[in-house]
C-alpha cells in the first residue's frame, strides 16, 4: 500500500506544477454551469416551483456536484493513456515493475483527480453561492458523508474507466466504449436526477453505475438524510468490490494475450 501512496503523492506533486493549465481548463466547467443555470431557469418558470421533488436551486446544486465529479475525473485522458499503453506495448514497462498495473493506474490518476476535485469544488461552491445565494442545509456529518461518497464515486469511476481501457487487450481501440460510457454518465447521470426518468427506467438506473458515481453523492448534497447516506455508501462499497474484481480479471486475461515486438 505504501508504494501506491507514494505513486499518488508523486503524481499530486507533479501536477501541482501545472496548476495554471488546470485553472484555464476550469473555464469549461464555468460554461457548463452557466448553460445549465440558464436552462433550468427557463424550465422552472417560477423559482419556487417543485418538479419531480426538486426545486430550481436543488436542481442547479445537483448539476454543480455531478459536474464537479465528472470534470475532476479526466476520464477521457485516463482511457486514452491505458489504450495507448496497451497498443504501443508501453505496458510492458509497468508489468516488470513490483506493482499491479490496475492499482498503479488508480493511484496515479487519483493524484491529478484529487487536485482537480479540490479546485473545482471551491469554484463550484463559489458559483453556486454567487448565482443562487444559498447553500443546501447540511450538518458536519452530512458534509463528511458527501465527501466520502464523492471519494468512493471517483474511485469506482476510475476503476470502470481502467477496465474499459484494458479492453484494448482484446480489441485494438477501446476509446469508442468510453465515449458511450461518458455519454451515459453525462446525459443520464449528470443533468437529471433519476426521478426525472420514466417510472419503468428508474429501477434500472438505480442498479446502474450512474447511481453510485453520479446520482448518489449529488442527491446526498441536495437532500441529505442519514438513511440515504447509509444506503448509498453500502451500494458504493458493493460496486467498488465488483469493479475492482472485474478490472483485475480483465487485466489478468489481457496480459496473457499481450504480444510485444522488441525495439
Q: Contact positions toward other proteins, by CB under 8 A? A: 21, 24-25, 27-28, 31-32, 34-35, 38-39, 41-43, 51, 171-173, 175-177, 179-180, 183-184, 186-188, 191-192, 196-197
Nearest to 147, CA basis, from 74, 69, 210, 73: 69
Distance CA 247, CA 226 (A): 31
Distance CA 161, CA 92 (A): 20
Q: Which is nearer to other proteins, 37 or 146 (CB)?
A: 37
CB of 200 vs other proteins, minimal distance in Å: 14
User: At CA 111, angle to CA 107 and CA 114, rounded to 5?
Assistant: 115
CB of 27 vs other proteins, minimal distance in Å: 5
HSE-CB for 134 with a 13 A CA cutoff: 9
Kindly report the backbone phi and psi dihedral angles of residue 208, in degrees, each rounded to the nearest multiple of 5, phi listed first. Answer: -90, 165
SS3 state at 45: coil
CB of 107 vs other proteins, minimal distance in Å: 26
Q: Which is nearer to other proteins, 101 or 177 (CB)?
A: 177
CB of 242 vs other proteins, minimal distance in Å: 24
Q: Which is nearer to other proteins, 161 or 229 (CB)?
A: 161
CB of 24 vs other proteins, minimal distance in Å: 5
Q: Which is nearer to other proteins, 6 or 34 (CB)?
A: 34
CB of 124 vs other proteins, minimal distance in Å: 17
Kindly report the backbone phi and psi dihedral angles of residue 62, in degrees, each rounded to the nearest multiple of 5, phi listed first. Answer: -60, -45
Q: Which is nearer to other proteins, 24 or 130 (CB)?
A: 24
Query: CB of 69 within 8 A of CB of 124?
Result: no
Torsion of CA 148, 152, 158, 164, to 10 degrees: -160
Q: Which is nearer to other proteins, 170 or 207 (CB)?
A: 170
Nearest to 115, CA basis, from 80, 71, 79: 71
Amino acid at each position: 500500500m505504501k508504494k501506491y501512496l507514494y505513486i499518488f503523492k508523486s503524481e499530486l506533486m507533479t501536477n501541482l506544477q501545472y496548476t495554471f493549465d488546470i485553472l484555464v481548463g476550469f473555464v469549461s466547467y464555468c460554461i457548463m454551469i452557466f448553460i445549465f443555470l440558464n436552462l433550468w431557469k427557463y424550465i422552472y418558470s417560477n423559482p419556487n416551483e417543485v418538479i419531480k421533488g426538486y426545486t430550481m436551486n436543488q436542481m442547479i446544486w445537483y448539476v454543480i456536484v455531478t459536474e464537479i465529479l465528472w470534470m475532476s475525473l479526466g476520464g477521457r485522458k485516463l482511457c486514452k493513456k491505458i489504450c495507448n499503453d496497451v497498443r504501443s506495448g508501453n505496458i510492458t514497462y509497468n508489468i516488470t515493475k513490483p506493482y499491479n498495473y490496475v492499482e498503479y493506474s488508480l493511484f496515479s490518476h487519483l493524484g491529478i483527480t484529487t487536485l482537480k476535485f479540490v479546485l473545482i469544488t471551491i469554484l463550484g461552491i463559489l458559483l453556486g453561492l454567487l448565482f443562487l445565494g444559498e447553500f443546501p442545509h447540511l450538518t458536519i456529518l452530512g458534509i463528511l458523508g458527501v465527501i466520502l461518497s464523492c471519494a468512493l464515486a471517483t474511485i469506482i469511476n476510475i476503476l470502470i474507466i481502467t477496465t474499459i481501457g484494458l479492453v484494448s487487450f482484446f480489441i485494438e481501440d477501446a476509446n469508442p466504449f468510453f465515449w458511450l460510457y461518458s455519454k451515459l454518465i453525462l446525459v443520464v447521470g449528470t443533468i437529471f436526477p433519476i426521478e426525472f426518468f420514466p417510472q419503468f427506467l428508474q429501477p434500472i438506473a438505480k442498479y446502474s453505475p450512474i447511481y453510485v458515481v453520479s446520482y448518489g453523492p449529488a442527491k446526498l448534497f441536495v437532500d441529505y438524510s442519514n438513511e440515504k447516506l447509509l444506503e448509498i455508501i453500502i451500494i458504493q462499497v458493493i460496486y467498488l468490490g465488483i469493479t475492482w474484481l472485474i478490472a483485475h480479471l480483465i487485466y489478468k486475461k489481457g496480459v496473457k494475450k499481450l504480444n510485444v515486438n522488441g525495439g
